[in-house]
Structure 1
């Protein structure tokens, strides 16, 4: 990809994320039923046609915000050396990602979104789709770290890690705790992987 093409893609990604943050704020403040695509576009400072170039529906607009955390933790996990013990590597990546701070306020925005998703099936569907895609994206990373592992075991680790973070975030969103749910995510991971072998 050329430098110009890369810059264009970065700008598009930044615009998508800004629209997602705007949509999340409106969903948090007004709920899904009280938020329109027109309102999101106006608040983001773009035209409605531009909005629909970036998102098929108002609910889909939040996907980049829900994806950014998963992208970050998979990137941390991908930096693991092949042959490293798999489950400790997954736990370290979760700790590093969820414990990295929330300078952009994205985690707080996710809390509002998850609360809104509890009352709107279309918004909930976006959340579950993001999690499904994240699980699929984990598999090749896990296979590179543990090249000799049983494929079924890798699928179980991918499912457990994804669900551990999902359940932790959903439980955290229901409460009032301000700190990121790092320990809750690790607790969920350990519970969900208790039956898997701990390889050296």
Structure 2
């Protein structure tokens, strides 16, 4: 095993430290294998050992990344929310949200193929009959409201913890969840470009209704 240099400059033996990017990639790869196994044989019949073996990592590494096997879905689901937040951050001030989403929104951030999109939608479908995954999914959605609030706070020029921002973030999260549930059901037989285009359009229209009062709410809160 090669020598590595410790923080104090002294040589030491051992594996080089894993970078944050390497850790993220490894968690995502484990997540992909976990979702495939969950879909094939169910959550109860899938063990951490099986997931680790499929992903080519040790059980020790697997449990270091995830506190329980159900949490394996989080890296994939997080990519979906990250994609939406990225689009919101890039929303031009002069452009209507519906027009921006029509051209810029993708269901998964930096998806190189449809595989990760299908994996995310597979998780969503699984949550309807796997209670443990449903709980993990809903908890993640709740945490995602904080990310949405940060983006909206900048857009609305209000504190992220203000009631106007938090209500808008909760509403947007609910719309995103409903739209994702719909496209997951519609693509149970396979993803098509038409289905993803419909998803983008439905999401844009629903969010335009939710955010119709964004400017009014922002003005009202600043007057107080």
TM-score range, shorter chain: 0.7 to 0.9
Residue in 2 aligned with 1:125?
135
Residue in 1 aligned with 2:203?
185
Which deviates more, 133-142 or 183-192? 183-192
Residue in 1 aligned with 2:3?
none
- Answer whether contact 2:102 2:204 (CA < 8 A) is retained: yes
Give the unaligned 5+ runs of structure 1.
none
Residue in 2 aligned with 1:96?
104
1:16-165 superposed matches below 5 A:
16-80=27-91, 84=93, 88-89=96-97, 92=100, 96-98=104-106, 102-104=111-113, 105-148=115-158, 151-165=162-176
Q: Aligned-pair distance for 1:88?
A: 3.5
Which deviates more, 172-181 or 123-132? 172-181
The 1:171/1:13 distance shift into structure 2, 3 A limit, reads: same
- Answer whether contact 2:33 2:55 (CA < 8 A) is retained: yes
Return the alpha-carbon distance in structure 2 between the equivalents of residues 9 and 137 of structure 1: 20
Q: Aligned-pair distance for 1:34?
A: 2.4
- Aligned-partner SS, 1:50: helix
RMSD: 3.1
The 1:73/1:197 distance shift into structure 2, 3 A limit, reads: closer
Give the unaligned 5+ runs of structure 2.
1-15, 220-224
TM-score (norm 1): 0.82
Which of the two has higher C-alpha Rg? 2
The 1:58/1:197 distance shift into structure 2, 3 A limit, reads: closer
The 1:75/1:169 distance shift into structure 2, 3 A limit, reads: same
TM-score (norm 2): 0.74
